Amino acid sequence: MQVFFFCAIIALKMKISTRGRYALRFMIYLAQRSNGNFIALKDVSENEGISIKYLEQITGFLSKSGLLLSVRGPAGGYKLSKAPEQYTAGEILRVTEGDLSPVAADETETAGEGNGRANTQKFWEGLQKAIDDYLDSVTLQDLVDQSAGQESYMYMI
């Protein structure tokens, strides 16, 4: 019940951009298919319906942060720098989205403002903790497993 309440609040204020959503899809794709091999962006683009230009932007963020390994050339591409269970959704989203706060920094209340807004500061801190705890509890492997379950369900229909 409490998690549902927090998720409802998050849905009202916080939105993950296409960059963050596509980054998760990209990382899931690599985790499902790489088998230690580098995968070309062209393959990801064709199978996921994401433009190569947009994937190049996303891979720039992910590579600079050390989440991806890349190789140029005809046999080049991208692969995960570590095992899927060592990534969290929070880690990937923070790299591509930046701050995941439900309230903008200029809207947060700080003690001593003298106008009563500090009364909700602990609430916002608690909400931020709930968001961080959830995002950091879901691994890339969890997302791969969830995706595999959906695909097999869809296949059975």
pLDDT in tens, 69-125: 999 988 889 999 999 999 999 999 999 998 787 776 555 555 555 555 667 888 888
Q: Please state the rounded mean pLDDT for residues 145-151.
A: 76
**With contact defined as beta carbons under 8 Å apart, do 100 and 76 qualify?**
no
Give the span between the Cα atoms of 156 and 108, in whole angstroms. Answer: 48
Look at residue 36 in the predicted model and tell me its pLDDT.
Answer: 83
Crossing angle of helices 41-48/18-33, nearest 10°? 110
- SS3 percent helix, strand, coil of the chain, rounded to 5, is 65, 5, 30
| Model confidence, pTM | 0.78
Strand partners, 21: none
Percent of the chain with pLDDT over 70: 76
CB atoms within 10 A of CB 132: 15
